[in-house]
Structure 1
């Protein structure tokens, strides 16, 4: 069992977060009333997805004896803001998340696909987004 805990202090739409020895700022863009002092909550979610997939990929690669030098992620989320503005007919979270991953490896493309499938099954952030019913469009290719 692994426990994770943060503390946070908010003022306006800016939040300062402490996670163990680390601190970070979450803020909204100016058009959402923020000062753009840090990534937005949704930016952090997409970053968490990429970071989690990298961590799980490294773990799975060791298990598969897969030579993995690293992965370059391009992650985009599509959101209909009517949901977060209160429209009950629109989900207030991403409707679609697109992941393009370029894998730095000497392995064959078929092994890259096996790695992706295992990572997508085991990554807590990916599976959480999937469980929310968000459309996921994930494509991993060899560099």
Structure 2
């Protein structure tokens, strides 16, 4: 399935990421000692959810041959563990209320949504 690597050297806290054959840079904001040269880790988490949501809704609308012009996925992470939450808003243009409601329902079952809601075991080992 998916595979990636993240490498950090002595730069505070610039991290080179390779995933899916693409290079990304992550960092922390200056207020946390980073150089703000890329999204912070939670920003990348929101980006993953937003991309999966938008892509899934586009696929569904295309399959149904609905005239969706665009979908904008707004995301906001708030709170601290165990009360942390993501609020997601959808702005859909080109569809009627019934079609938009169906897409909002579909958004609750995108692959990344289900992964985040269900949790995911992480096994760590030294190599």
- The interval holding the TM-score normalised by the smaller chain is 0.7 to 0.9
Structure 2 unaligned residues grouped into runs of 5+: 120-127
Residue of 2, 18, 38 corresponding to 1:4: 2
- How far residue 104 of structure 1 moved from its aligned partner, in angstroms, is 1.6
CA contact (8 A) 1:68 1:104 kept: yes
Larger relative contact order (Cα-Cα within 8 Å, sequence gap ≥ 6): 1
User: Could you tell me which residue of structure 2 aligns to residue 57 of structure 1?
Assistant: 57
Give matches, 1:1-143, under 5 Å: 3-11=1-9, 12-80=12-80, 90-91=81-82, 95-105=84-94, 107-121=95-109, 123-132=110-119
TM-score (norm 1): 0.73
RMSD of equivalent CA atoms: 1.7
Contact in 1 for aligned 2:27/2:35 (Cα 8 Å): yes
Structure 1, unaligned runs of 5 or more: 81-89, 133-143
Residues paired across the two proteins, number: 117
Q: Decide whether the 8 Å contact of 2:54 with 2:72 is kept in 1.
A: no
| Structure 1 residues 20 and 111: CA distance shift in structure 2, 3 A | closer
Rounded Cα–Cα distance in structure 1 between residues aligned with 2:98 and 2:4: 39
1:18 is displaced (CA, Å) by 1.3
TM-superposition CA deviations, 1:13-35 (whole Å, max 9, x none): 32101124421101011222211
TM normalised by structure 2 equals 0.81
Asked if 1 retains the 8 angstrom alpha-carbon contact of 2:77 and 2:87, the reply is: yes
